[in-house]
Amino acid sequence: MQLEQILKNRRQEKDILLMTHIVLGYPSFEVNRQVIRQMVENGVDCIEMQIPFSEPMADGPVILKANQDSIAAGTTIADCLAFGAEMAATYDIPFLFMTYYNIVFKYGEEQFLQKTREIGIKGLIIPDLPPEMGEDFFRLAEISEIAPVLIFAPTSTDERMAELNRWAKGLIYCVARRGVTGKKSELGDDFNHYLARCRKATDLPLAVGFGIQNRADVMALVGKADMAVIGSQTIRLVEEQGPDAVGPFIAGLR
């Protein structure tokens, strides 16, 4: 089953879905296993696994450091693909890969998409690959039945949203504010107007990320979006309290 339908089915049972983000190989793949197990056991609906890249331009300092530390520890693309295959075979939720285009380009677009499909990954988030620069990639993704997830931002015009929606599959990732990941977002009237524009622009599920940090943030999205994305906050938890802190945190978000 493709990503969009999986999420829409899960959405029928919940007021809002949860997607979480981990950086593969940080602080280790064994800790990744522990964290993902706790996430799934506590009701996460989708997990975004980041293949580390040396210059992750959309990410703030927490995720930037995690990327660089993972690379310094020797994490390879092959390691990430093997881990992705293991997780997709172990848990009955959709997994996505998030990375930057240089990783995909060096691996080979067609080969990367074929491998991604083979191991059971449902979608890809590549923030630095707009449709204008990746038409062949987006067509190959559609053939491979891998959902290319595209990103709406508060600065996106209605026309731009319509163009992105034409290429997107699976879901639309709505960034809650300008800038990079990790900083607290203000979910006020301007944000609500922005989300209303996002909803008007697409029939795909809306996932909101960047600065979603606690239950109040998640509850503020109910009725406005389909999924809340928690990223930097779980990485901070693992750093400060260890992987066992993730389960109770996730359980308290809804």
| Percentage above 90 pLDDT, the chain | 86
Mean pLDDT of 5-16: 97
For residue 157, pLDDT over 80 is answered with yes
For residue 185, pLDDT over 70 is answered with no
Catalytic residue list contains 30: no
Rounded Cα gap, residues 38 and 246, in angstroms: 7
Q: Is residue 25 situated within a structural domain?
A: yes
What confidence score (pLDDT) does residue 184 get? 46
Q: How does residue 176 score in pLDDT terms, banded at 50, 70 and 90?
A: confident
Q: Is residue 165 situated within a structural domain?
A: no
Mean pLDDT of 160-164: 98
Q: Is residue 203 situated within a structural domain?
A: no
DSSP assigned state of 131: G
Q: How does residue 61 score in pLDDT terms, banded at 50, 70 and 90?
A: confident
Nearest alpha-carbon partner for 170 in 141, 211, 210, 212: 141
Predicted TM-score (pTM) of this structure? 0.93
pLDDT tens-digit readout, 194-229 = 999 999 999 999 999 988 889 999 999 999 999 999
Domain that holds residue 77: 3-150+213-240
- The pair phi, psi for residue 11, each rounded to 5°, is -65, -30
Cis check: omega of the bond before 27, within 30 degrees of 0: yes
Q: Is residue 168 situated within a structural domain?
A: no
Which amino acid makes up residue 162? A
Rounded Cα gap, residues 5 and 118, in angstroms: 19
User: Is the Cβ–Cβ distance between 171 and 149 less than 8 Å?
Assistant: yes
Q: Is residue 83 situated within a structural domain?
A: yes
What confidence score (pLDDT) does residue 186 get? 54
DSSP string, 52-116: P-S--TT--HHHHHHHHHHHHTT--HHHHHHHHHHHHHH-SS-EEEE--HHHHHHH-HHHHHHHH
Q: How does residue 22 score in pLDDT terms, banded at 50, 70 and 90?
A: very high
Exposure string for 128-146, b = 16+ CB within 10 A, e = fewer: ebbeeebeebbebbeebeb
Catalytic residue list contains 48: yes
For residue 183, pLDDT over 70 is answered with no
Q: Is residue 173 situated within a structural domain?
A: no
Q: Which of 48, 109, 110, 226 is labelled catalytic?
A: 48
Q: Is the dihedral of CA 53, 57, 59, 61 positive or negative?
A: positive
197 Cβ partners below 8 Å, 6+ apart? 158, 161
Q: How does residue 182 score in pLDDT terms, banded at 50, 70 and 90?
A: very low
Mean pLDDT of 141-152: 96
| Percentage above 70 pLDDT, the chain | 95
Six-digit token pair at 183?
């900083």
Q: How does residue 187 score in pLDDT terms, banded at 50, 70 and 90?
A: low
Rounded Cα gap, residues 20 and 23, in angstroms: 10
- Scanning the structure block, which residue is given the tokens 């930057």? 100
For residue 179, pLDDT over 70 is answered with no
Q: Which of 4, 15, 45, 59 is labelled catalytic?
A: 59
Six-digit token pair at 41?
């056991």
Q: Is residue 171 situated within a structural domain?
A: no
Give the CATH number for residue 37: 3.20.20.70
Q: Is residue 139 situated within a structural domain?
A: yes
User: How many structural domains comprise the chain?
Assistant: 1
Say if residue 203 is exposed, middle or buried (CB neighbours under 10 Å; 0-12, 13-18, 19+). exposed
pLDDT tens-digit readout, 79-101 = 999 999 999 999 999 999 999 99
